[in-house]
Chain A
Amino acid sequence: DIVMTQTPLSSPVTLGQPASISCRSSQSLVHSDGNTYLSWLQQRPGQPPRLLIYKISNRFSGVPDRFSGSGAGTDFTLKISRVEAEDVGVYYCMQATQFPWTFGQGTKVEIK
């Protein structure tokens, strides 16, 4: 299985300030078709996960442009340009390049 490792596990952020979450995979996520199937999901308290970003950097429908994804190979980053109160929650990276699909441990974003 591909292991997904996120850092940090907790990220206290001041409102309006940026936040960054790193996700590293135990092997390259480049698929044989040339695509990299790395997604980011947000889980607000008491809510199901919500897709934010797919294929490294593509924002899903309705996702604010303050969220951005980058990276390649085994190293990926989710950035929030200016954290808002509604961004509080746990963020997960997920790989779908190889079965079984696997998730990171989650990074909790909270307001200082």
Chain B
Amino acid sequence: QITLKESGPTLVKPTQTLTLTCTFSGFSLSTSGVGVGWIRQPPGKALEWLALIYWDDDKRYSPSLKSRLTITKDTSKNQVVLTMTNMDPVDTATYYCAHSHWTLFDYWGQGTLVTVSS
């Protein structure tokens, strides 16, 4: 079955760079149509789409965050990495990675809470 798990720091300081890793199993990121995306959710708020990387290395970013985000994949390790620079307290949120098949998110990780505070 498809599973995904996010990992990374739970606490980062303002201005620091956040690096999150999504480790997955049950699918290959070299299969046509497959992608892995990142979505975040501030406490008590709605979901926000951040970035998506497809099997062919096509990368898509939220325009409002594009200058701060980088998404990469390591197909051999079954991992996708998201980096976000210049972290701010407003970036405090639960960060999810999710499996995408073309145009939907059908499997989600449990999420990881990242707090930005000095």
Task: Give A contacts to B, CB under 8 Å.
Answer: 1, 35, 37, 39, 41, 48-51, 54-55, 60, 92, 94, 96-97, 99-106
Q: Is B14 among interface residues, defined by CB-CB distance under 8 A?
A: no
The number of chain B residues touching the other chain, given as a range, is: 20 to 34
Q: How far is the CA of A81 from the CA of B50 in the complex (A)?
A: 33
Give the residues in chain B near A96, CB-CB below 8 Å: 103-104
Chain A's closest residue to B100 (CB) is A96
Contacts A49-B96, A102-B49; A54 near B60 (Cβ below 8 A): no
Contact A49 B104 (CB under 8 A): no
CB < 8 Å neighbour of B108 from A48, A54, A94, A101:
A48
14 extra interface residue pairs, beta carbon distance < 8 Å, beyond A37-B103, A48-B109? A39-B105, A49-B96, A49-B108, A50-B108, A51-B107, A94-B49, A99-B60, A100-B49, A100-B60, A100-B62, A101-B37, A101-B49, A103-B46, A103-B48
Contacts A48-B109, A48-B110, A49-B96; A103 near B104 (Cβ below 8 A): no
Q: How far is the CA of A35 from the CA of B111 in the complex (A)?
A: 30
| Min CB–CB distance B82 → chain A (angstroms) | 15
Give the residues in chain B near A51, CB-CB below 8 Å: 104-107
| Min CB–CB distance B89 → chain A (angstroms) | 22
B95-118 contacts to A (CB < 8 Å) = 96, 98, 103-111
Contacts A39-B105, A100-B63; A105 near B46 (Cβ below 8 A): yes
Give the residues in chain A near B11, CB-CB below 8 Å: none
